[in-house]
Each structure stands twice: as C-alpha cells, then as structure tokens.
Amino acid sequence: MLEINATEGVREGSIFGQISTMDHEQLVVCHDQATGLKALIGIHNTTLGPALGGTRMWPYASEAEAITDVLRLSRGMTFKNSLAGLNLGGGKAVIIGDPKLKNEAFLRRFGRFVESLGGRYVTAEDVNMKTSDMEYIAMESRHVTGLPQIKGGAGDPSPVTAFGVYMGIKAAAKKAFGSDSLNGKKIGVQGVGQVGKYLIDYLVKEGAEILITDIFEDKLTEISKATGATVVDPNVIYDLPMDIYAPCALGATINDETIERLKCAVIAGGANNQLKDEAKHGKILMEKGIVYAPDFLINAGGVINVGAEYFGDYHKETVFSQTEKIYDTCLTILEKSEKENIPAQQAAIEVAKARIEAIGKVKLPF
C-alpha cells in the first residue's frame, strides 16, 4: 500500500498537484498481486468525522482516469455529508477492473486495506458493488457499512437514495415551474440501475411521462414493460425535448458536447459528478436558465442511510424523514443561487463549506 499525503510538494499535472488542487488529505494506492486487486482510496476531508463514501468498481480506461474519479468523488462526499448534516467527512474508493474479477479473496484483500487506515475511511457499496460484497469486506474490516439486513445492516441504500433524488426533482420543479407536481411532466431518466429503477417508481406514481435509456438493453425492456416508460437510444437522449433530465448513471454527462443539445428546463438526477467541469458548465447552465439541482445535494439519501447504520442508530422512519429534508435544502440552495447570481453548484459548495469551517474553526481553501 502506497500512501500519498497532501503535505508533500506539488508539481502541475502530478498526483500531488491534483490532490493539492482539491485539498485532499490522502490518496491511498492499494495493490495485491495474488488477487489482481488494484484500488485507490481518496480521503478528502475529515473535519466533521471519518471519511465515509462508497466503493465502486469500474474498468477505467487508464489509471489517470481512475485517480481523477476517486479524487472528484471523495471531494463530492465531503460536500454531500456536510449538506446532509452528518458528522462524517468525505472519502471514496475505486477498484480498477471488470466486476467479474470479484470473489471472496479479492474483496477480503481490499477489506484489509480499508482496515489498515484505522477508521479514517469507512466504505459502503457503490457502482458495481452489492451488499453481499460488503459482507466479505467486513470479514477483514470493522469500518464497513451498508451490510445486508440479515447481517444486522440496513440493507440496500438505493431506495433511500432514489427518494432523496425524487425530493430534489420536486424541489427543482417547484423552482422552475412554480409547482412541485410532476403530473404530466416529461422526464428523461438516464441509467436504470438500482437508483434509477426506484426513482422511476416514484415518478410513475406521480403521473410523469418517462423516457428511459441505458447501455444495458435487458434492463430497459424489463422496466418498460413494468412501468410503461418509453425506451430511447442512449445517443439521442440529449436531443429530445423534455421538462426534466435526470442523469442516474456515471458522471460528466453534462459537458461541452451535450450541454448545447439538452432541451430541458431542469437537470436533477442521482449520478455523481454530473458536471464535467463544475465551474464552467455550472455557469453555462445558469446562463441558459436551466435549473440544476447539485448531485451531491440530492443523492445524499444513501449516505444518510448507511451513516445511521454505521453509528448504530438505524431507524428506517427517521432515515426517510431526514432524507425528505433534501427538498427544503434544495430550495434554499436554488434561492441562494438566484439571489446571489451564482451557479447552484457553487451555492451548494459554499453552504457545505460554511458548516465545515464553523465546526472545524478553520478556513478551507477548496
């Protein structure tokens, strides 16, 4: 295990340069020859508490891409946990490779890396990871949450994440249309994994007209049959007129190429890091008059869920009640954005930072 700390000197374009730019505390490189494990753990800020964030597994095109992803994701978790009112810092882990590589030995080896950090980082499930995977990791580390219910955990956090995203969509609709009713609204859901699937259920119950897309066609067919949602090609989702675009797959779908194609009034979804360049693209959305609900604000239901489990105070009703507050927080952020004429992303970051600075008695550079 290689530990890279932010106290070292920096060089533009270097790993130290990247972690210094976003002010990370630590980047941990994990490698195990026997199992083929290659993983990165990013610890962004621990002012509020241990850095909690899920582990995702993805066949990244390069190690540089994986480093960028873990640094952006862990930074987002700092803001997410702060806005959600949790006493948790921001962290994230990525495992590089095809999810088919996962087995007991592979996951337990990763668990030993997590344990070696002594509680500075707490892991949970994320993209291509399941609650059953957390069981194997928990065999080697105490610092795991999101375990199956039969093992005393809270189970799959996706339903709670989806509920929070739903609350965020309603708040953004209230800002854009003057009413939070989604009846008759055309909503494009990009990505019908666990969060997207549960989100669609909420939207259908409100009478929304749903467009769905995903790179996995079998999922689309199943959900379309169950809900009546219209399947569209992944390459044309950006070109279709709709009221609300809800990205619920991987990040950076709002970029130079897509932002000119979007024909919507609201963007609000469950994916992380939706803005490829948060400063540039957040400003463009504001200039275009598109209401953007920051992803780390509205997809916080999952971390509220696993956070309650980690602290040993899990009550389902309380978790959903706390997640429901995302609606009011989102409206507050959108009002701040309009009043101060700043992008919603910036407004959300400022509020998140203010809480961290007040509790830590520090001035944050990031």
Residues known to be catalytic: 92
Q: What is each CA distance from 129 to 98, 158, 355, in whole angstroms?
A: 11, 12, 31
Beta bridge partners, 209, equal 186
What phi and psi values does residue 34 have, to the nearest 5 degrees?
-65, -40
Tell me, letter by letter, the H, E, C secondary structure of the chain.
CEEEECCCCCCCCCHHHHHHHCCCCEEEEEEECCCCEEEEEEEEECCCCCEECCEEEECCCCHHHHHHHHHHHHHHHHHHHHHCCCCCEEEEEEEECCHHHCCHHHHHHHHHHHHHCCCCEEECECCCCCHHHHHHHHCCCCCECCCCHHHCCCCCCHHHHHHHHHHHHHHHHHHHHCCCCCCCCEEEEECCCHHHHHHHHHHHHCCCEEEEECCCHHHHHHHHHHHCCEECCCCCHHHCCCCEEEECCCCCCECCCCCCCCCCCEECCCCCCCECCHHHHHHHHHHHCCEECCHHHHCCHHHHHHHHHHCCCCCHHHHHHHHHCHHHHHHHHHHHHHHHCCCHHHHHHHHHHHHHHHHHCCCCCC
Query: What residue type is 5 in one-letter code?
Result: N
Find the radius of gyration of the CA atoms of the chain: 19
The answer to whether residues 298 and 168 touch, using CB atoms and an 8 Å cutoff, is yes
- Which residue is it, tokens 């490189």? 29
340 φψ region: left (φ > 0), alpha (ψ -120 to 50), beta (else):
alpha
